[in-house]
Every structure is written in C-alpha cells, then in structure tokens.
Amino acid sequence: MIRKFFFPTITLVTALIFIVRLISLQLINSSYKSLSDDNAVIENEVFPERGYIYDRNNKLLVSNQPVYDLIAIPENITAFDTLQLAKIINISKSELQDKLSTARKFSMKLPYVIVNQISKERNAIIQEKIWKFTGFYLQKKSLREYPNPIASNILGYVSEVNRNDMKKDDYYSLGEPTGRQGIERYYEDLLRGVKGKKFFQKDRFNRIIGSYEDGIYDIPSKGAQNLILTLDLELQEYGEKLLRNKRGGIVAIEPETGEVLSLVSAPSYDPNLLVGRMRSKNYRNLTLDSISKPLFDRGLQAQYAPGSPFKTLNALIALQEGVINSNTTYRCNHGHFYARGMFMDCHCKYGTYNNLLSGIFRSCNTYFANIYRKIIDESGDGVAEGVNIWKKHLLSFGLGNYLGYDLPVGKKGFIPDASYYDYWYKKGGWKSATIVSNAIGQGEILTTPIQMANFTATIANRGFYIKPHFLKSVSNGTFKTINEKKITTIDSIHFETVIDGMYQVVERGTARVARIPGIEVCGKTGTVENFVKIEGVKTQLTDHSMFIAFAPKDNPKIALAVLVENGYWGARWAAPIASLLIEKYLTGEVKRKLLENRMLNGNLLAEYEKPYSGKPFLINE
Amino acid sequence: MSNNFIYRLDWWLILIYLFLVIVGIVNVYSATYTESLESIFDFSQLAGKQLLFLFISIFLGAIILGINIKFFEHFATSSYITSILLLIGLFFFGKTVSGATSWYDLGGFSLQPSEFAKIGTAMMIAGYLGKFQSDLKKSKTLLKVIGYLLIPFILIVLQPDPGSALVYFAFFIPLLREGLNFAYLIIFLSLLALFFITLSFKLSTSIGIIGIITFVIYLILKKFSSKIKIWPFILTFIISIGFSFSVDYIFNNLFEQRHRDRINVVIGKTLDSKGVGYNINQSKIAIGSGGLRGKGFLQGTQTKGDFVPEQQTDYIFSTIGEEWGFLGGFLVILMFGILIIRIIIRAEKQNSKFRRVFSYGVAGLIFIHFFVNIGMTLGMVPTIGIPLPFISYGGSSLLAFSLMIFIHLNFDANRLNEW
C-alpha cells in the first residue's frame, strides 16, 4: 500500500514546496522586484544648463562653453587610418592604439572616452572627418567659461562631485558638476536647477535598447537660474589691475544698499585655470603656493589690526558715551607718556593742541590715547564695564563677528572684552593704560577688510548699515532685496564731526594724495604694524598700508577699504588706489594718469621676498 | 484503430501535454525575442524549430498509438541496445558543444541520444521486471537492474554530461513501486544529507551533527522497541564519519572548481552574485520581479535584457515567472503535478507489470527533471543543467518526452486488450 502512495505524495509535496517558494519570491519578498528595476532599467539623468552669472550692469561674468568627448565603441570599429585619426585629435599614434586596446579590455560593447574635453575649435576639425571612422563619435558636454579673467575669488569654480559630497547631499551622483567655492557654491541650488530623469530599457551588456514604457516615468528637469551680482565688472577689473604685483584686498560697498561693488584679493588667479582638462593640476599648483596663497581671499579671510582708521570708531564711541565733546582738546608733545616710563610716539610737532577734528585729520595718537582711556575709565563703573561698553558699540558696526554675507568663506575678526583681559592679566591686574594700543587700532583688535569697508559704509550712512551682499537679482525673480537696516548704538548726530574729520584727512591731512577734483572724498589712512614668526622668532615686517574712504561726502555712493600688505604708510599705496577706484566708479574714467601709472606699475614683490631671503633685512625703508 | 480506442485515450493527459508544450513554445519565443524577429512560425528561429518538433512529435505519436502493444515488449531489449550503441557512437562521431560530446550533427539539427536512452532504459527495466522470475528482493535481480542502469549512466558521465546522468536516479521510483527495499532509499538520502552536511560545515562540526542525529534516532527507535541495540548505531556513526571524510576529500580534491561552486551557491557558502551565483541570482530576480500577474508576454525586462543565461533551455521557468507571474508559475507547477500523478494513477490500473513499470519510469523521469530544473531555477537545488520537460527549448528532449507520453497513452488505452 505504502508503495502505491509513496510517489504521488512526493510529487505533491514537491509541487507544494515550489509553490510556497514562488509565493515567497513573487508575492512576499519585494526586494527582488526593485532589483529587477536596477538591473534592466537604466536611469539617465538630464541636466539643465548651468545658470549664467552677470554683473550689476548685465555684463557677462560666467557662461558655459561646449566641449566634446571623442568616444569609441570597440565592437563597431572597422578598419581605419590610425595615423590620420591620431593626427586630427592631436595625439600620437601609439597613444591612440594604447587607448583603443584599453577600451577593448574594458568592454567591446560599451562607449569608452578616447579623448575628453576637446575644444570647440578642434571639434570643428574632427567633426568634418568623423564619418570616416565608424565606431567613433563626439559627445557634447558643458564647461564653465569666463570671458573676463577676473573675480575668481568671488565666483568660485565648478568641479565634479566626489564621495564626500554625495554623503552630505544625496541629490548628487558621482561625477556631476557642483559649485566649489564662492558664488558657484553659495548659490549652487539656483545655478544648477533640478536634474530630470529619463528611463531606458537596457540589456545585460548595459546597452540601451529603447525608452522604458514610452517615457511615462520620465521626470523633466527644472530650469537653472541666471544670477545678477552686485559687482561692477569694470571696477572689479580695475581694482585687480591696481593690486597687481602687490598683496592685499579691496572691498567696495554701495553704502545705501549694502551691495558689494567689488571684492579684490591679490594675488589672484585666472578662473579659466580651473576649467577643463588641466583643472586638477592647476588647482594643485594653486594650493601648493603657500607663500602668496592665491586661493586665500584677503578681502574676506585675512584678519589684520585695523590701524588708524579705527580711531574714527573710538571718536564716535567717546562722543556717544559723552566722555568728550567735539571741542575737547589735548596737547601732543610729539607723543606722550601714558604711564610712568611708557611713551607713545606721535608724528605731531611738539606742543600741538588738537581738538577732535584736527585729532582725526592729523591722526594724533596722543589725542586718541587720551579719549580711549576716558571711554574705558569713565563710561562705566570701572574698566571692566568700560571695555564691555566699548565692545558693545563696536559689535553694532558688525565687527567681531561674521557679517552674514552670501559667500561661503569668512573670518570673525576679534574685539577683546573684560573677560579676555581678566584672563591675560588676572582680574584687576589691568588698567586703561594697559590696553591703550586699542586706541589707535593696534592692540588685540582684528578685522577683515570687508568688516572695515562695512564700518566705513556705516559711517557714510551716518549710523546704519545693510548686510553686505553679492546677489542683486535672480532671473526667476525669487530673490528678495535685502533692505533691513542694522542701526548702530551711536546716534546719528555724532557722525557729522567725525565725517568732517575724515573729509579734512583728504583735504589737508594725511591723505591729500587721495583728493579728486570735484568730488568730496572722506577717508582715513592707516599704517599697521605687523609681525610674523620666522623660524620661531617674532619678527616685525614693513607696515601694512591701509585706507578707508567713502564719497561723495553727502549722499555717498561708494565706501571702501583698501589694504596693501607691507606697503608701509597708508598714503603710499592704499589711499591712491582707493582714490583712483572712487574716481573710476563715480566719473567713469581716470584723469590722473600719472598717479594711475605709478599705482599700476608699483611692485612690492621685492618687499615680500625679504622674510624668505634668510638674510637680515630692513623694514619700512 | 477503432472508435473505441479513441474514446479510451486519456484526452486529459493529452490536453495537459499540449498545454505544457505550447507554454514552452511561447516562452522560448519570448526568451529569444529580439525586435527584428517577426514570427513565431519562422522555422529558422528557436521557437519555430520547437514548433516543428511538436509537429514531428505528434506525427510520430500518432504512429506509436497505432502500434500493437505486444510489439513494445519484444522491442524492449533491442531499443535498449540501440540506445547504448548510440551513446557509444558519440565517442566516435559525436559533436562537441561547450565541452560535452553529447550530440550527433544531422545537417540541419542535432540529436542528443542521451534523451532517447531514457526511453530505451525504461523499456529495458520494464521488460526485465516484467518477467516472472525477476524479484527485486533477490540480489541477482537487483544487481542486474543496477547493471542496466549503470551502463548508460557511465556512458553519459563520460561525455561528460553528469547532469543528464543524474536523471537515472529517477528509476528509484519504479523500483520502489516494484518492491525495492526502502532501506536503499533511506541510505541514499542519508548519504545525500551527509554530503551536504559535510560541505556546509567544518569537519568537526559535521561529526558533531552526525553524532547527535544518530543518537536521537537511536533514542526514538528505543522507545518503540526495547530490543534495539546500540552497537549498529555506533557502527553507522563510524561509517558516516568515514563517508564524511571521504566526501571532504573528494569534494576538495577530485571535483572541478565549477562543480564545487555550484554546490557552494546552493548551500549558501558563496554569495558572489556577479560570479558563480550569477545565474541563480538573475533567475531569482527575474522570477521575483514578476509579482502576481507578471509583466506580460514579451514584456519581461530581465528576459529582454538577456540577464538570465540559457534562459530558453535550463532557465525557461524564469521567463514564465517573470512574464506570467505567480499565476503562470503556479499553473505550470500544478500541471506537472497533475500530469505525473495522472500517469501513476493510470499505471496502477495496468495489469501488465511491464507496462506499469514503464509508465512509472516515465513519471519518475518527468518528476526528476521537474524537481531538479524548477528547484534550480528557484535557487533550491544546485545548478544541474537539465531541461524542463515539454517546455525547455531542445528538439531531442521534446521528442523523447513526447514519445514516452505517447507510448504511455498507447499502453493506457489498450490496458484491457491483453490476454
């Protein structure tokens, strides 16, 4: 009996097991379903063309250029003239043969890039002959193009996405273009748009054999936006020319709107270097230049002691705190003793009497040392509170913190407070005289050129600023103009005296070189002591040349800060450069050709060599 | 042929047979489909060839149905000898395809004698067991039967086509029906289990497992009968360990790497989906992607993309699974089940031992192909390249199985005619 039923039972059980297995594979385990999609359906991404970038006058800063990859599918290649092909694509015959054999090893059926990023010009030559070479074709790609080789520090650059980027943002897949620095990075979302998808059916060799389900699952791409920046192309270009063969930064702002008109960092580099085949090699060279640091934005990232321009802020704080008025006068004896045996130099003649106005235009150290000590000693209950009140005022000018502009790099700068000095000198171990260097912008204070330009704009505005920014508008109109006024803690009535002082600086003070016929320029020079460590020894270098200015005096249109590293005194480099920029911006042309030529041809490279020469050297010569 | 005969034909079986063959042709067409292919009736294409073989099968089947059943019994030995001669002839005249000399090249098409040798062997075994003096309880009969099986088995292994040779284990089924001691099956299955245990685990672990299993069986049997002694179990245990050692040795030293790989994939030792396990994985993906209703005829993305190798032959079930979904797969499995059981039920009604054994042989052969092929496609059995009867592309296979079905039909329809 058992023998009769044995086999049918086995058959039934087997069929049952198979059916259960089918249920688990087809009805329960859904992981195999999506695997199939991965396997047989290829998803091609469709990229919108990256947005263009224009300056404030709609002049083109960044566009795209087509380049071409020469691609071969080994399977399709028929006998051809190797020498001729090598010639038109400009590589050697053996190199071409090597590439073809690599392609064959890679796959007979898949496209392989033989030469990438062929220029438009060469493409034209190849395009004419390509029909002779079956199995080869040209595929178009898009790269960034910069009609003017300027503003690389602002614009940033584009490169391919790597694995790190993919971890941070799952939008990207490997090798897609993405903005790396500057505007390209900050406004990446607007510039790139949103990629779409097309689905294709493929076979096991990954060859596309048609569109998948007639494209019903395809997702169209969303348009990329063109950006209009606040930059003035001509001003930017002129600024970069003026800083050629020098190191430093220029930041120019339209005070009324906070729009950055130019941001120059020198030395800089041609943005076209970071495009195309040579990109990674050039980038490496730029990063390896640790001496002139072309990738370091001196306008945004370099922190300097502000020097004498800072006196204007101390004057405003003293007025606001009521510790002086515009008539308060101090005597200067070619400097003064601020403590027993502690003498601070000044270039005023022995026995000069200065009130606030002349204190500013003569840049009298004695005067500002005295009023600074008054601020610290008298504005609050004790020096600690005095310093904190002083700091509070400075913070309202945007110092000591990020400004919040729309570029991805920056530095906070530094404004000391009571706890900082308590830490260094112990509580109660310091007096106003201890920290008197802050009076003349030396001391512990650090600012970046954009912060200086911003406080200059604040003075020009008589007491408020608008966050400096680089984006003016977006082609789809989504960008909202920034117009939130950041009002300082200084009442606007106090500004007029200081502005008068700054006007006199240019008219008859330290910066007469900056005078422009027909334009009322207000400015303040600075000569900033600075030190570096050379083989562990703190060494003083030639002073930085510094100048802040705005013009015209009433209804200002431009405020700027110029810093030339190791340029010696402020009126030597920074003031003329600032003045030329103002003239260029306000009148459209520069009439002072002599001054212009001196600035354009000026060369500080010998000065920068000094610390690296290994020999003793003189400074401030 | 009288009306009576036509009436007595097992039409249900014929319908199932036709259903399976047509499912086969449709799916072979789909598996080999390219955009340029026009018609299923294009005889230069695989599906067309398969259709042609269906016509040939039906034509020959009709002739077979007309033959007097007496003839087959006399014909048994000579058909077996012809099969063996054809297998031997391969070594001299055979065509080598992918390493195995399994085909005769007959101009337009190839013939695979190992497919037809199944019929001859089934005839021979049936003929021998049909004689009065044969008795599987006697070792003489048993040895003779093993001998008849061993000759084609060895010849096919030597081609080498071990997959087709393994099919001869199908004859366990008629033999068990005719009185073979179940102990042989138990020993065979135990050895198979031992084989997989040894390969799945380290040798020391395997010995532990074998020890525990032996001991548990001993305890269970002890409950039923206190007369059970322990020493046979100890002996079994020792023999098992010896077997385990030799399997380990054979597997690692005598098997070729591709055989080791195939087995490793099924016991889960290798998880390399692009390498060794590629076929099975692709097959599972294709089937899994079919869902309940499948993607529809010619719509299988895996099938169209040719991801599954050998899809029109050994992996045809994955096309069915992908394009016709669970419903299609279920129906095919169901039809095979009904086909096999129906053959057995009719065979049981035979009063001739010869004919019963033959039909059992046919059922057994269909079963083992069904079991190994679908099991492999579903990733449950090691990769053994044998076709799915009636469905896989292959003229010899279709023709041989068709002839078996028609001979069975003839026997069945004429079962009352004898004596």
Percent of chain B scored above 90 by pLDDT? 41
Instruction: Provide the token pair at B167.
Output: 């099919």
Query: Could you identify the residue written with the tokens 């041989």?
Result: B400
Q: Are A573 and A567 in contact (CB under 8 A)?
A: yes
Q: Which of B287, B291, B289 is nearest to B320 (CA)?
A: B287
Tell me, what DSSP letter sits at residue A417?
A: -
Chain A residues with CB-CB distance to B137 below 8 A: none
Answer whether residue B162 shows pLDDT above 90.
no
Planar angle of CA A361, A365, A370, nearest 5 degrees: 110
Task: Give the pLDDT confidence score for residue B271 in this predicted structure.
Answer: 44
Answer whether residue A414 shows pLDDT above 80.
yes
Answer whether residue A115 shows pLDDT above 90.
no
Q: Are A263 and A257 in contact (CB under 8 A)?
A: no
Answer whether residue B51 shows pLDDT above 80.
yes
pLDDT, one tens digit per residue, over A24-42 is 888 886 555 554 555 566 6
Residues near B397 by Cβ (< 8 Å), separated by ≥ 6?
A: B112, B115, B387, B389
Question: Residues of B numbered 337-356 whose beta carbons fall under 8 angstroms of chain A's beta carbons: which are they?
Answer: 337, 340-341, 344-345, 348
- Check residues B319 and A213 and name the one with the higher pLDDT: B319
- Check residues A337 and A219 and name the one with the higher pLDDT: A337
Q: Which of B301, B322, B336 sits opposite A41 (nearest CB)?
A: B301
Q: Are A599 and A242 in contact (CB under 8 A)?
A: yes
* Amino acid, res. B330: F
Percent of chain A scored above 90 by pLDDT? 39
Chain B residues with CB-CB distance to A11 below 8 A: 337, 340-341, 344, 367
Query: Could you identify the residue written with the tokens 């009604």?
Result: B349
Task: Give the pLDDT confidence score for residue B17 in this predicted structure.
Answer: 96
Instruction: Provide the token pair at B77.
Output: 């030995």
Q: Are A158 and A178 in contact (CB under 8 A)?
A: yes
Answer whether residue B419 shows pLDDT above 50.
no
Task: Give the pLDDT confidence score for residue B273 in this predicted structure.
Answer: 44
Confidence band (pLDDT; 50, 70, 90) for A618? Answer: confident
Contact A26 B291 (CB under 8 A): yes
Task: Give the pLDDT confidence score for residue A578 in this predicted structure.
Answer: 94
Mean pLDDT of B292-304: 77
Question: Residues of A numbered 163-202 whose beta carbons fall under 8 angstroms of chain B's beta carbons: which are they?
Answer: 201-202
Tell me, what DSSP letter sits at residue A288?
A: H
- Check residues A210 and A618 and name the one with the higher pLDDT: A618
Q: Which run of H or of E encompasses B6?
A: helix B3-8
Tell me how far apart the alpha carbons of residues B244 and B208 are, in angstroms, rounded to a whole number: 11
Answer whether residue A435 shows pLDDT above 50.
yes
pLDDT, one tens digit per residue, over B261-282 is 666 665 555 444 444 566 777 7
Task: Give the pLDDT confidence score for residue A111 in this predicted structure.
Answer: 75
The region of weakest confidence among A133-137, A185-189, A394-398 is: A133-137
Q: CB-based contact (8 Å) between A217 and chain B?
A: no
Instruction: Provide the token pair at A155.
Output: 């614009």
Radius of gyration over every alpha carbon of chain B, rounded to an integer in angstroms: 23
A74: distance to nearest CA of chain B, Å? 21
Mutate to test the interface with B, among A1, A11, A20, A29 (most CBs of B within 10 A): A11
- Characterise B128 by phi-psi region: left (phi > 0), alpha (psi -120 to 50), beta (else): alpha
Q: What is the CB-side half-sphere exposure of residue A120 using CA atoms within 13 A?
A: 6
Answer whether residue A457 shows pLDDT above 90.
yes
Q: CB-based contact (8 Å) between A23 and chain B?
A: yes
Count of CB atoms within 10 A of residue B354's CB?
A: 21
Domain residue spans in chain B? 181-254
Answer whether residue B37 shows pLDDT above 60.
no
Q: At what angle do helices A574-587 and A233-242 cross, to 10 degrees?
A: 160
Q: Which of A376, A455, A461, A370 is nearest to A413 (CA)?
A: A455
Q: CA-CA-CA-CA torsion for A299, A300, A306, A312, nearest 10 degrees?
A: 90
Looking at every residue in chain A, the average pLDDT score rounds to 86
| β-bridge mates for residue B141, sequence order | none
Instruction: Provide the token pair at B311.
Output: 């899809």
By C-alpha distance, the chain A residue nearest B305 is A203
Answer whether residue A361 shows pLDDT above 60.
yes
Tell me how far apart the alpha carbons of residues A475 and A52 are, in angstroms, rounded to a whole number: 10
Q: CB-based contact (8 Å) between A531 and chain B?
A: no
Answer whether residue A235 shows pLDDT above 60.
yes
Confidence band (pLDDT; 50, 70, 90) for B300? Answer: confident
The region of weakest confidence among A40-54, A244-258, A587-601, B35-49 is: B35-49
Task: Give the pLDDT confidence score for residue B284 in this predicted structure.
Answer: 82
- Model pTM? 0.59
- Check residues B351 and A11 and name the one with the higher pLDDT: A11
Task: Give the pLDDT confidence score for residue A122 in this predicted structure.
Answer: 82
Chain B residues with CB-CB distance to A36 below 8 A: 285-286, 288-289, 301-302, 322
Q: Are A85 and A152 in contact (CB under 8 A)?
A: no
By C-alpha distance, the chain A residue nearest B307 is A204
By C-alpha distance, the chain A residue nearest B360 is A7
Looking at every residue in chain B, the average pLDDT score rounds to 85
| β-bridge mates for residue A140, sequence order | A68
Q: Is the peptide bond before A309 cis (omega within 30 degrees of 0)?
A: no
Percent of chain A scored above 70 by pLDDT? 94
User: How many interface pairs between A and B have CB atoms less than 8 angstroms apart?
Assistant: 119
Q: CB-based contact (8 Å) between A36 and chain B?
A: yes
CA A93 to chain centroid: 44
**What are the b/e assignments for A581-597, b being 16+ CB within 10 Å?**
bbbbbeeeebebeebbe
Answer whether residue B39 shows pLDDT above 80.
no
Task: Give the pLDDT confidence score for residue B274 in this predicted structure.
Answer: 46
pLDDT, one tens digit per residue, over A467-520 is 999 999 988 777 777 878 899 999 989 999 999 999 999 998 888 999 999 999
Task: Give the pLDDT confidence score for residue B233 in this predicted structure.
Answer: 82
Task: Give the pLDDT confidence score for residue A202 in this predicted structure.
Answer: 64
Tell me, what DSSP letter sits at residue B138?
A: S
The region of weakest confidence among A190-199, B7-16, B44-53 is: A190-199
HEC letters along A349-400: EEEEEECHHHHHHCCCHHHHHHHHHHHHHHCCCCHHHHHHHHHHHHHCCCCC
Tell me how far apart the alpha carbons of residues B416 and B419 are, in angstroms, rounded to a whole number: 8
Q: CB-based contact (8 Å) between A27 and chain B?
A: yes
* Phi and psi torsions of A254, nearest 5°: -85, 110
Instruction: Provide the token pair at B18.
Output: 């036709």
Report long-range pairs for A588-597 (Cβ below 8 Å, ≥24 apart): A592/A516, A595/A513
Q: Report the number of secondary-structure helices (H) and strands (E) in chain A.
A: 21, 20
Euclidean distance between the first and the last CA atom of chain A, given in angstroms as a whole number: 119
Q: Which run of H or of E encompasses A115?
A: strand A112-118
Query: CA distances (Å), B208 to each of B202, B214, B240, in order?
Result: 10, 10, 11
The region of weakest confidence among A56-70, A179-193, A215-229, A422-436 is: A215-229
Domains present along chain A, CATH in parentheses: 66-145 (3.90.1310.10), 147-193 (3.90.1310.10), 233-282+297-467+485-612 (3.40.710.10)
Q: Which of A509, A442, A493 is nearest to A306 (CA)?
A: A442
Contact A40 B35 (CB under 8 A): no
Mean pLDDT of B137-156: 92
Task: Give the pLDDT confidence score for residue A315 in this predicted structure.
Answer: 93
Answer whether residue B1 shows pLDDT above 60.
no
Query: Could you identify the residue written with the tokens 């059970």?
Result: B228
Q: Are A336 and A373 in contact (CB under 8 A)?
A: no
pLDDT, one tens digit per residue, over B352-402 is 899 999 999 999 999 999 999 999 899 888 777 889 999 999 999 999 999
Instruction: Provide the token pair at A476.
Output: 């789809």
Q: What is the CB-side half-sphere exposure of residue A275 using CA atoms within 13 A?
A: 23
